[in-house]
Amino acid sequence: MSRFLSPSLSGISPYIPGEQTEDSTLIKLNTNENPYPPSPMAIELAQAELSRMQLYPDPSCTALVAEAARYFNVAKSQMLFANGSDEILAFIFEALCPKGVAFPDVTYGFYSIYAEHYGIKATKVPLHEDFSVNIDDYSDFDGTIVIANPNAPTGLLLPRTEIEKLLIAKPDRLIVIDEAYVDFGGESCVSLTDRYDNLIVCGTFSKSRSMAGARLGYAIACEALIADLKLVKFCFNPYNVNRVAAALGLGSLLDKDYFVSCRDAVISTRERTSVALSDLGFTLMPTKTNFLYCAAPRMSGKDFANALREQGVIVRYFDIARCKDYVRVSIGTDEQMARFIDVCREISKK
Ligand SMILES: *Cc1c(COP(=O)(O)O)cnc(C)c1O
């Protein structure tokens, strides 16, 4: 680090992304990417943008917002797109957590990093023994609450009725629901955004829409909250969504059949993989996402991840004390998961 670095950044622990590799002999199940490419219609729209790249993109993402508002059944003034939902979350932490933030102790790693980065007091609320979130644990907290639903890396879903209780309990407390995985079987809270002005739902096109490489995420909330987030965006980077990402996103929304068929394929592969793994004696969380949170018999999560890696299967292990037996395995194609199960079968015999 140079002698010019601001002291506020010198002690921070940044996010460590999962290993990225282009080596096609490896089976990459470590970053919850979709195994299928973006929709052909989306690719066609994106290609048409390449010859216009000399021009800045539309800072308001007008066409994308119009189509997304139709898809989500909200007003256009209730939507904002950004450079991945990570950027949406950064805007929220920066602008909308003046009384601190609370989130589960086991959840998406960026929440605690953003809290530290923006100097916000973070309260980590322990999950219960079974990894579930109990909203009663948040009843005394007055700051902003951030909950990934379904949660990551556990995969567990909180019913919408529970979130509605949180919204009603304290109308002056902001609730942020991160729906990165909602398309794989979750219950979205988007329909609550016109009834509750203390709710922000954020989501991403990275997972269910096969666009991790494009960086496209969104926020849906009441108009006033979206105006706050736009304020941050226009103080930071008005052109945060590039032309290719916006065109891919629009194409993805228009090509509903393709979206549904890829999502359904991931869900059925997930269900088949879950059955095969539990038949082999592995422990699994009941997931509503595109990943499994699972433990091998008689083996630590770290050893399980290493044993898979030796056989060319990359998964994610998080070094969290209470989750030391578990690894997170993204759902790939049927073929990739068949190979994963074969390796697990060998591992379970050891
Ligand atoms: C993947 C993920 C994100 C980030 O998504 P991007 O749009 O790719 O930035 C946010 N929250 C959770 C819980 C995620 O798993």
Over the stretch 36-92, which tens digit does the pLDDT of each residue have? 999 999 999 999 999 999 999 999 999 999 999 999 999 999 999 999 999 999 999
What's the DSSP call for residue 95? H
Nearest in space to 214 (alpha carbons), one of 206, 222, 226: 206
Looking from the CA of residue 206, the nearest atom of ligand 1 is 8
Q: For ligand 1, is residue 206 a contact (CB within 6 Å)?
A: yes
Q: Are 110 and 89 in contact (CB under 8 A)?
A: yes
Q: For ligand 1, is residue 179 a contact (CB within 6 Å)?
A: no
Beta bridge partners of 283: 295
| pLDDT tens sequence across 84-124 | 999 999 999 999 999 999 999 999 999 999 999 999 999 99
| pLDDT tens sequence across 122-176 | 999 999 999 999 999 999 999 999 999 999 999 999 999 999 999 999 999 999 9
Q: For ligand 1, is residue 43 a contact (CB within 6 Å)?
A: no
Looking from the CA of residue 207, the nearest atom of ligand 1 is 1
| Cα(218) to centroid(ligand 1), Å | 11
Q: For ligand 1, is residue 274 a contact (CB within 6 Å)?
A: no
Query: By three-state DSSP, how is residue 113 classified?
Result: helix
- For a pLDDT cut of 90, what percent of the chain falls above it? 93
The confidence score (pLDDT) of residue 22 equals 86
Q: For ligand 1, is residue 146 a contact (CB within 6 Å)?
A: no
Task: Report the C-alpha gap between 243 and 50 in whole angstroms.
Answer: 8
What's the DSSP call for residue 284? E
Nearest in space to 192 (alpha carbons), one of 217, 222, 171: 222
The confidence score (pLDDT) of residue 230 equals 98
| Cα(276) to centroid(ligand 1), Å | 28
Query: Over 80: is that where the pLDDT of 350 sits?
Result: no
- For a pLDDT cut of 70, what percent of the chain falls above it? 100
Q: Which residues contact 174 (CB under 8 A, 6 or more apart)?
A: 96, 97, 144, 145, 198, 199, 200, 225
| Average pLDDT of every residue of the chain | 96
Q: Choose one of 33, 80, 86 to mutate for the ligand 1 pocket test, by most ligand atoms within 8 angstroms of C-beta.
A: 86
| Cα(180) to centroid(ligand 1), Å | 6
Chain-centre distance for alpha carbon 215 = 12
Task: Report the C-alpha gap between 125 and 138 in whole angstroms.
Answer: 8
Residues 328-342: b if buried by 16+ CB within 10 A, e if exposed:
bbbbbeeebbebbbe
User: Distances from the Cα of 76 to the Cαs of 56, 173, 227, in angstroms?
Assistant: 22, 24, 12
Task: Report the C-alpha gap between 127 and 143 in whole angstroms.
Answer: 19
Chain-centre distance for alpha carbon 108 = 8
Looking from the CA of residue 151, the nearest atom of ligand 1 is 13
Radius of gyration of the chain (CA): 20
Mean pLDDT of 330-341: 98
